[in-house]
Structure 1
Amino acid sequence: MAEKQKEMSFLGHLEELRWHLVRSASAIFIIAIVLFVFQKEVYENFLLAHRKPDFITYQLFCDFFTYFGLDSGFCHVAFKDHLISLKPTQQLMNSIWSSFILGIILSFPYLLWEIWRFVAPGLTKNEINKSRGFIFIASFLFFCGIAFSFYVIAPISIHFLYNYQITDLIQNNFTLDSHIGLVTNMLLGVSILFELPVLIYFLTKIGLVTPDFLKKYRKHALVVVLILAAIITPPDVASQVIVAIPILILYEVSIKVSKVVIKKQQRDARQS
């Protein structure tokens, strides 16, 4: 009887998980449909915005360099060629896929809320009260990563890559898929990197990471950050530094977060 009750409890958890997944998928699907309906606006004002010479980042960089009396390619941004579509179904499939990716991005806070709702019954009342800010903090960091990627990394990378040419004998003819893939990969990749403090919080809670460990390997982390910056940005020092700085700041914030968690655990241990 006890085994049957335990089995029913396990099946009940599976059923609950199934409905959390169904609601999460539904949220992504609904947002994706809305984005697909307004795909022209999404592409022109978001996914293809970096191909416009008057994009705000280009203007700000131009003003910045001009202020110091320096000539900059950001003052003469031009994209001569249109993106090309090589297959009859390429534009349709690209719009469906990009709508799905953006659906995941926009529904991220709701997805976190569904995860929290599934985990919450197994937490104590004190743990529930302390974890209420998790959704806000994680979502805030995620969208900070999206904004940083969209307004800093993407325009710098696109401006460089579109103007990079080994020789005049080679002509750049970029496809729609390659451009959209570049933009969406940057958005997701950088936004996930911005979740570092949240990841360190949980790793510290389960004892896999300590502040001393993070301090000890700070130099190694710097090397990893620079490598990541080199991968997701053009191969020039300025771009890599621009990307590396916020990630290093997040690493230092993660050390502080780890310290707070350790102190809280030690205080609870003394009280018990």
Structure 2
Amino acid sequence: MSDHSPQDELAGTEQPFVQHLIELRDRLVKATIAVLVAGAALAIYPGPAELYDLLAAPLVAQLPEGGHLIATSVISPFLVPLKILLMTAFLMALPVVLYQVWAFVAPGLYSHEKKLVLPLVVSSTVLFMVGVAFCYFFVFGQVFKFIQSFAPKSIMAAPDIEAYLGFVISMFIAFGLAFEVPIVVIVLARMGVVTVEKLKDFRSYFIVLAFIIAAIVTPPDVVSQLALAIPMCILYEIGIWAAQLFIKHTQAPDAE
């Protein structure tokens, strides 16, 4: 007969759980402080209004002479720049936020799992940023130029600042997620959901799927659809190539 009672078996389990909660709280506090510090720095320089001007620059550059954005709500001139400041602060603090997430989960991972997770976290962050930058520096200018070329001369363009912010955020998310295609391909292949050979066979179907997705999530213009679909196809090929390397270098010791 065993000398251990159920109470003995449960002894000590509460304390580690509480310690995990305390560590999670501390990590969340540090991540929040990083966002607040970035927000405070941006509030001082360049400032919320200047951040909005920077975000609106691709559209303003394509408006006819004298064209400008308007605010249809009384509090929009205050709320919209504030939203942009918070969004930018989060993006600036994202490396710190992700580091806190990594520091919280890393102790519970095996060495080969750390080799899998850390590169994916870093690369997915970089790819998302690249997608947003590609959208801002290239796509916006081409899309707004294309749209304005169809505007009748009798119409004075004066977009609403809240509507423009919603459009920008949706486009940033669309391009940021589209640039995550290699990560999705790598994870699916590494988890054994699909093989690399199946991914290669699916290539032609993915091209069609990419253009369908681009037609759904972007404005109804050829420029933005091509600007989203073509990079997705290229990144799919990169993902197939990277998946082969990733599988090779992140195997568990007993699987090698």
Q: The TM-score by the shorter chain falls in which range?
A: 0.7 to 0.9
Matches of 1:24 and 1:103, distance apart in 2: 11
In structure 2, distance between residues paired with 1:86 and 1:241 = 33
User: Distance between the aligned counterparts of 2:251 and 2:99, measured in 1?
Assistant: 29
2:39 to 32, 42, 46: 32
Q: Which residue of 1 aligns with 2:26?
A: 19
Specify the alignment match of 1:64 in structure 2.
Answer: none
TM-score (norm 1): 0.76
1:1-272 alignment to 2 at 5 Å? 1-37=8-44, 38-44=47-53, 46-53=54-61, 78=64, 80-128=66-114, 132-165=118-151, 172-264=157-249, 268-269=253-254, 271=256
Secondary structure of residue in 1 paired with 2:12: helix
Larger RCO, structures 1/2 (Cα 8 Å, 6+ apart): 2
Q: Residue 186 of structure 2 contacts residue 242 of structure 2 at CA under 8 Å; is this kept in 1?
A: yes
After the TM superposition, which of the residue ranges 112-121 and 151-160 deviates more from structure 2? Answer: 151-160
User: Following TM superposition, by how much is the alpha carbon of 1:252 offset from its aligned partner in structure 2, in angstroms?
Assistant: 1.0
* Aligned residues: CA RMSD: 2.9
Instruction: Report the Cα distance in structure 2 between the residues aligned to 1:19 and 1:163, rounded to whole angstroms.
Output: 53
How far residue 265 of structure 1 moved from its aligned partner, in angstroms, is 6.4
Q: Deviations over 1:141-162 (max 9, x none)?
A: 1221122111122222233345
Q: Give identity over the alignment, percent.
A: 29
Larger mean Cα displacement after TM superposition, 215-224 or 116-125:
215-224
- Judged with a 3 Å threshold, the aligned counterparts in structure 2 of structure 1 residues 163 and 132 are, in CA distance, closer, same or farther, namely same
Query: SS of the residue aligned with 2:206?
Result: helix
Relative distance call for 1:6 and 1:180 in structure 2 (3 A) is same
**Gaps (5+ residues) in structure 1?**
54-73
Structure 1 pair 111/203, CA: closer, same or farther in 2 (3 Å)? farther
Report deviation, 1:186.
1.7
The aligned counterpart of 1:68 is none
CA deviation map 1:9-33 (0-9, x unaligned): 2232222222222222222232233
The one-letter code of the counterpart of 1:42 is L
CA 1:30–1:267 in 2, change beyond 3 Å: closer, same or farther?
closer
Q: CA deviation at 1:5?
A: 1.9
Judged with a 3 Å threshold, the aligned counterparts in structure 2 of structure 1 residues 40 and 97 are, in CA distance, closer, same or farther, namely closer
Deviation at 1:85, TM superposition (A): 1.0
Q: Are the equivalent residues in 2 in contact too, given 1:51–1:79 (CA < 8 A)? A: no
Q: Secondary structure at the match of 1:5?
A: coil
| Distance in 1 between residues matched to 2:119 and 2:164, nearest whole Å | 36
The aligned counterpart of 2:5 is: none
Q: 2 CA distance for matches of 1:108 and 1:164?
A: 39
Q: Which moved more, 1:262-271 or 1:91-100?
A: 262-271
Letter in structure 2 aligned against 1:104: F
SS in structure 1 opposite 2:237? helix
Q: Distance in 2 between matches of 1:184 and 1:79?
A: 26
- Count of residues in correspondence between the two structures: 247
Whether contact under 8 Å (1:142, 1:195) holds in the other structure is yes
CA contact (8 A) 2:218 2:224 kept: yes
